[in-house]
Amino acid sequence: MKRNTWPLFFLSFLLFVSTARAQQMGEQLPPWQEGMLDIHHINTGRGDAAYFIFPDGTTLLVDAGDMNPFGERIGTPRNTRIHPDSTKSAPLWIVEYIRQFAPSNSAPVLDYAMITHFHDDHYGSLHQQSETSQKGDYKLTGITEVGEHIPIKMLLDRGYPDYAYPVPLKGEGVRQMMAFNPPFKQWYATFDNYQKFIEYQRKEEGMQAAQLKAGSNAQVVLKYLSDKYPEFEVRNIKSNGSIWTGQGNDTYEYFPDFSNTPVQERPGENPLSNALRISYGPFDYFTGGDMPGIADLGEPEWKDVETPVAKAVGPVDVVAFNHHGNRDCCNSTFISTLRPRVWIEQTWSSDHPGHEVLRRVTSRHIYPGERDLFATNILEANKQVIGPSLEKAYQSTEGHIVIRVAAGGKTYQVITLNDNNAEREVSGIFGPYSAAQPAHE
């Protein structure tokens, strides 16, 4: 267990200020500097995208959402508009954001990109106006459009190269899925396009691809100054049904054997989500895609994946809401085990967060102490339904959200950026917070 005393906190804060000009409201975010850990939650209004700059300048993008602009979920009062405007697609806004905030000593590059699972708000969706790549035989949406403009060195997902679990996404498995689930055809068109992107990038651009290996702390690593920051770690917590035990690199299979289960009764994408814990000295951050924590009425208990994941992760400082804060996430065990000081919610719909989720997350009965909530979009429809308790719970309900961790990981700030223009000036400054959780061995 680490100790947190006021002198240590104050010294860490002074070091934080001395390594970069203090943030000022209405001004540009001071550039990342070596030793910092920056985590940018990018708000496009079309799904999740989180851009990480590790202490040595290694970069990681987790997801690149891009929903069909002609789909039924877009353009209604219960869903967000594209941010900052519709002059560019969501992935092109992600590209511009990365170019603005990437380490300045070289051209933007993604050392790693990870797709948590294959839903449009996390990796893209083809539609009638999807443009064709100028490079390969694939169309541009989500991660394929980001990768068209910014080189990706390593792409990680939940199934490469076979994509055989829990349903083979080739041959007979595809035919069975299309037979009982007609919308699967459109889903598969996007997935097949993603495969074409990977194969082109591998053969022509030198990109590597792999399945996220649960339990490993050696798959996503510092690429430039690893010896200088031994206290930094990315631990793969979960992929598909494989979950880290919390000991060494050991994992176990949480889901039952589905080999004799009809395809329509096997897990959908959300429970299969990849999950990571990122640690820097005493600071810990968790992200877990759309993993659910509450089995719906009549559903099997294995659909609660938050409980076993929480046991492996332990306490952290910052959590990205699972499933955007939707009604099936953030069960009591998950909340009380991770008990973060800061919650980050990447939202695009009026059911983000669910009212019952908000009650659990803010409950002092589940875990004591202060907590601050931040969201990229809280819609007026949600405010009207839930009422004043929603706005009182959040420090910020609109904008890009940056976690800036000081060198060594002892303190961090939350900084919100204006998402209504391409300047992305600072709109809110919160903290510094003291990283008050146990350091992980």
Query: 279 Cβ partners below 8 Å, 6+ apart?
Result: 231, 232, 233, 234, 235, 285, 409, 439, 440
Structure confidence at residue 291 as a pLDDT band (50, 70, 90) = very high
112/12: higher pLDDT: 112
Query: What pLDDT sits at residue 200?
Result: 98
Across the range 266-279, mean pLDDT stands at 97
Across the range 6-12, mean pLDDT stands at 47
Question: What are residue 400's DSSP bridge partners?
Answer: 417
The yes-or-no verdict on residue 437 having pLDDT over 70 is no
Domain at 6-13+36-434: CATH code: 3.60.15.10
- pLDDT tens per residue across span 317-359: 999 999 999 999 999 999 999 999 999 999 999 999 999 999 9
Query: What pLDDT sits at residue 179?
Result: 81
- pLDDT tens per residue across span 174-201: 888 888 787 888 899 999 999 999 999 9
Closest CA to 16 of 429, 441, 440, 438: 429
Q: Which two tokens stand for residue 175?
A: 């035919």
Amino acid letter for position 351? D
Q: Which two tokens stand for residue 303?
A: 């659909």
- pLDDT tens per residue across span 47-67: 999 999 999 999 999 999 999
- pLDDT tens per residue across span 99-157: 999 998 678 999 999 999 999 999 999 999 999 999 999 999 999 999 999 999 999 99
- pLDDT tens per residue across span 218-233: 999 999 999 999 999 9
The pTM (predicted TM-score) of the whole model is 0.94
How wide is the angle at C-alpha 313 spanned by C-alphas 434 and 364, nearest 5°? 60
Q: How far apart are CA 206 and CA 416, in angstroms?
A: 35
269 and 254 in contact (C-beta within 8 Å)? no
